[in-house]
């Protein structure tokens, strides 16, 4: 016998959980507050472990069709001096496959197409979930995949459990020309990243002090190495996205509520995945990867323990994912501190620590 689950949020994590649970034969309802799937966003890195998880969810081949390999990238100073190499070759040697980059819309499409193909999942748009306890009472499992400002996390851990600002804003975009330079350039209190995303295009991001406007951005990078000034001059500022950099601190004591005991304001069984569980700064490019790994691990634990073993499944999921995801979040936050420092000596020391 299988159960019924409601998944709150149709981003990367929510779509992936819905696929995993549906594959296991569960009745799944997916609730999204927006009126349709948001098909915007720039490139996501997919580490080989996340690619393995996508394979297990049946989406790996579709993702690989639209993704590009990320094989060679350096850390530079603003005048173009190479400080270090990013450890991409090492990742590929160890895993036997390269890190990939995929634009967010393509990843969302691949997941949504798989969900369609599986059939039997009720997807409701325009559903802004506020009453988590009532929703939880109607289902065997409630999954909070509702991102940075998760209502499910707030219901379980209180409104103060939200992620904190880290003092930086990221402007991100895609340029319509290929760059031969990839990697990150670390300046004083700001940094710029360039990655492939699809043939003939370049994904870029600029992390700057919070509050920096699009109008101010080109001046901050005008004397940086090629093609950074050109990217900012030749892409349309109305296409740039402004992305808040936040980090969930303190880290959560658990990603689940197994339905026993009264803590959390309601007795339902709840699991958090993705940014809802461990929102992190994007420095290590692990936001989408960790959401996919969480989703697949949760679905796998549910399959292994069966419907009647749901409390055990939730505890197994928490054991497999919490420490690991929180370590990644902590490392990403620490890297952010070094990279956004005004002290170039500290920045250069951080670059030397990269295991390239
Ligand atoms: C539109 C969009 C564009 C993004 N673009 C980028 C990007 O270019 N680069 C980057 O590094 N990261 C980007 N991100 C963040 C990135 O997708 C996540 O960090 C990562 O993929 C983890 O995904 P997630 O599923 O946990 O959270 P998210 O991708 O944030 O998905 C959460 C989903 O839950 C929905 N939701 C939230 N609250 C409720 C509620 N109360 N009821 C119902 N639904 C709710 C949201 O609308 C959203 O669809 C973007 C996120 C979004 C939503």
Which tens digit of pLDDT belongs to each residue from 11-68?
999 999 999 999 999 999 999 999 999 888 889 999 999 999 999 999 999 999 999 9
Contact 88, 285 (CB under 8 A): no
Q: Is 282 in the pocket of ligand 1 (CB under 6 A)?
A: yes
130, 146, 151, best to mutate for ligand 1 pocket (most atoms within 8 Å of CB): 146
CA 147 / ligand 1 centre spacing (Å): 5
Q: Which atom of ligand 1 is nearest to the CA of 150?
A: 38
pLDDT in tens, 221-237: 999 999 999 999 999 99
Helix (H) or strand (E) holding 207: strand 201-209
pLDDT in tens, 255-306: 999 877 654 444 589 999 999 999 999 889 899 999 999 999 999 999 999 8
Give the residue-averaged pLDDT of 127-134.
95
147, 246, 321, best to mutate for ligand 1 pocket (most atoms within 8 Å of CB): 147
Q: Is 60 in the pocket of ligand 1 (CB under 6 A)?
A: no
Contact 302, 24 (CB under 8 A): yes
Give the residue-averaged pLDDT of 129-133.
95
Q: What is the pLDDT of residue 267?
A: 57
Q: What is the pLDDT of residue 211?
A: 92
Sheet order of strands, 74-76 included: 82-85, 74-76, 183-186, 191-198, 201-209, 164-175, 241-247
Q: What is the pLDDT of residue 292?
A: 98
DSSP per residue over 292-328, as a string? Answer: HHHHHHHHHHHHHHTGGGHHHHHHHHHHHHHHHHHHH
Share of residues in the chain with pLDDT > 70 (%): 97
CA 12 / ligand 1 centre spacing (Å): 7
Q: How many other C-beta atoms can be found within 10 angstroms of the C-beta atom of residue 119?
A: 7
Q: Which two tokens stand for residue 87?
A: 């450890």
Give the residue-averaged pLDDT of 100-123.
96
The DSSP call for residue 216 is: T
Instruction: Please tell me whether residue 53 adopts helix, strand or coil conformation.
Output: helix
Q: Is 34 in the pocket of ligand 1 (CB under 6 A)?
A: yes
pLDDT in tens, 307-349: 789 999 999 999 999 999 999 999 999 888 888 877 777 777 7
Return the residue whose CA atom lies nearest to atom 35 of ligand 1: 9
CA 65 / ligand 1 centre spacing (Å): 23
Instruction: Please state at what angle helix 12-23 crosses helix 287-305, rounded to 10 degrees.
Output: 20
Phi/psi at 191 (5° precision):
-145, 160
Q: How many other C-beta atoms can be found within 10 angstroms of the C-beta atom of residue 13?
A: 31
Contact 17, 293 (CB under 8 A): no
Give the residue-averaged pLDDT of 120-142.
95
Q: What is the pLDDT of residue 265?
A: 42
Is the pLDDT score of 350 beyond 80?
no
CA 351 / ligand 1 centre spacing (Å): 30
Instruction: Please tell me whether residue 34 adopts helix, strand or coil conformation.
Output: coil
Q: What is the pLDDT of residue 260?
A: 75
Domains and CATH numbers, the chain: 4-43+61-68+104-164+247-334 (3.50.50.60)
Q: What is the pLDDT of residue 264?
A: 43
Q: What is the pLDDT of residue 237?
A: 94
User: Is the bond preceding 30 in cis, omega lying within 30 degrees of 0?
Assistant: no
Return the residue whose CA atom lies nearest to atom 38 of ligand 1: 146
Give the residue-averaged pLDDT of 147-168.
93
Q: What is the pLDDT of residue 263?
A: 45
Helix (H) or strand (E) holding 74: strand 74-76
7, 11, 42, best to mutate for ligand 1 pocket (most atoms within 8 Å of CB): 11
Q: Is 339 in the pocket of ligand 1 (CB under 6 A)?
A: no
């Amino acid at each position: 016998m299988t159960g019924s689950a409601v998944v709150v949020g149709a981003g990367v994590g929510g779509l992936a959980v819905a696929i995993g649970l549906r594959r296991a034969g569960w009745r799944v309802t997916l609730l999204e507050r927006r009126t349709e799937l948001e098909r915007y966003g720039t490139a996501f890195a997919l580490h080989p472990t996340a690619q393995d998880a996508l394979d297990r969810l049946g989406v790996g081949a579709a993702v690989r069709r639209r993704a590009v390999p990320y094989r060679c990238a350096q850390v530079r100073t603003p005048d173009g001096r190479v400080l270090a190499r990013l450890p991409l070759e090492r990742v590929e040697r160890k895993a036997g496959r390269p890190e990939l980059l995929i634009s967010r819309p393509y990843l969302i499409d691949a997941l949504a197409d798989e969900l369609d193909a599986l059939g039997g999942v009720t997807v409701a748009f325009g559903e802004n979930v506020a009453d988590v306890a009532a929703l939880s009472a109607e289902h065997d499992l409630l999954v909070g995949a509702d991102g940075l400002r998760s209502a499910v996390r707030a219901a379980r851990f209180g409104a103060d459990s939200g992620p904190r600002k880290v003092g930086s804003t990221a402007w991100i975009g895609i340029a319509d020309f290929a760059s031969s330079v990839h990697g990150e350039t670390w300046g004083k209190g700001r940094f710029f990243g360039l990655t492939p995303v699809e043939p003939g295009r370049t994904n870029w991001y600029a992390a700057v002090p919070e509050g920096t406007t699009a109008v101010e951005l080109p001046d901050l990078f005008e004397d940086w190495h090629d093609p950074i000034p050109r990217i900012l001059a030749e892409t349309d500022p109305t296409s740039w996205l402004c992305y808040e950099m936040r980090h969930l601190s303190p880290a959560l004591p658990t990603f689940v509520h197994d339905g026993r005991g009264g803590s959390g304001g309601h007795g339902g069984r709840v699991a958090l995945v993705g940014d809802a569980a461990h929102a992190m700064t994007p420095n290590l490019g692990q936001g989408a990867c960790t959401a996919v790994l969480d989703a697949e691990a949760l679905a796998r634990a549910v399959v292994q323990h069966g419907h009647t073993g749901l409390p055990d499944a939730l505890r197994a999921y928490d054991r497999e994912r919490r420490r690991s995801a929180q370590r990644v979040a902590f490392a990403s936050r620490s890297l952010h501190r070094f990279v956004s420092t005004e002290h170039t000596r500290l920045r250069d020391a951080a670059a030397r620590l990269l295991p390239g």
